[in-house]
Amino acid sequence: MSACPQPLLDHFAQDVTSICHCWRLSRKDDHVTGFTDHDRSLAVDGTVFEPETGLSASEARQSLGLSMDTVDIEGALSSDRIRDEDIAAGLYDGAAVETFLVNWRRPEEFALVRTATVGKITRADGRFVAELESLVHRLDQPNGRYVTRKCDAELGDGRCGVDLGQPVFNGAGAVEAVEGPDMLRVSGLGGIETGWFSFGTLLWTSGARQGRMERIVDHRAGEVSAVLTLQAGVGPPIGAGDAFALVAGCDHSFATCKAKFANALNFRGFPHLPGNDAAYAYVTDGGVFDGGPVVR
Task: Please indicate, yes or no, if residue 92 is contained in any of the structural domains.
Answer: yes
Task: Please indicate, yes or no, if residue 146 is contained in any of the structural domains.
Answer: no
Task: Please indicate, yes or no, if residue 145 is contained in any of the structural domains.
Answer: no
**111 and 182: one domain?**
no
Task: Please indicate, yes or no, if residue 253 is contained in any of the structural domains.
Answer: no
**171 and 126: one domain?**
no
Q: How far from 255 is each of 145, 187, 261, 295, CA to CA, in Å?
A: 20, 29, 10, 8
**69 and 132: one domain?**
yes
Per-residue pLDDT of 52-71, as tens digits, reads: 654 555 544 444 444 445 55
Start-to-end C-alpha separation, the chain:
56
pLDDT at 70: 53
- Over residues 268-274, the mean pLDDT reads 83
**113 and 184: one domain?**
no
**119 and 65: one domain?**
yes
**11 and 113: one domain?**
yes
pLDDT at 66: 43
Q: Provide the residue range defining the domain that includes 121.
A: 6-140
Number of domains in the chain: 2
**13 and 102: one domain?**
yes
CA distance 88 to 122: 10
**79 and 19: one domain?**
yes
CA distance 133 to 60: 11
Task: Please indicate, yes or no, if residue 213 is contained in any of the structural domains.
Answer: yes
Q: How far from 187 is each of 153, 171, 199, 223, CA to CA, in Å?
A: 31, 11, 19, 11
Look up the CATH number of the domain holding residue 107: 2.40.10
**131 and 227: one domain?**
no
Task: Please indicate, yes or no, if residue 127 is contained in any of the structural domains.
Answer: yes
- Over residues 137-151, the mean pLDDT reads 76
Count of residues making up the chain = 296
Instruction: Answer with the one of 247, 268, 288 that is the final residue of a domain.
Output: 247
Task: Please indicate, yes or no, if residue 293 is contained in any of the structural domains.
Answer: no
Per-residue pLDDT of 149-198, as tens digits, reads: 899 999 999 999 999 999 999 999 999 999 888 899 999 998 899 999 99
**102 and 31: one domain?**
yes
Look up the CATH number of the domain holding residue 177: 2.40.30.20
Instruction: Answer with the one of 88, 105, 140 that is the final residue of a domain.
Output: 140
Task: Please indicate, yes or no, if residue 254 is contained in any of the structural domains.
Answer: no
Per-residue pLDDT of 208-255, as tens digits, reads: 888 888 999 999 998 788 999 998 877 788 999 999 999 999 999 999
**75 and 190: one domain?**
no
CA distance 229 to 213: 14
- Per the prediction, the chain carries an average pLDDT of 81
Confidence of residue 80 (pLDDT cuts 50, 70, 90): low
**136 and 209: one domain?**
no
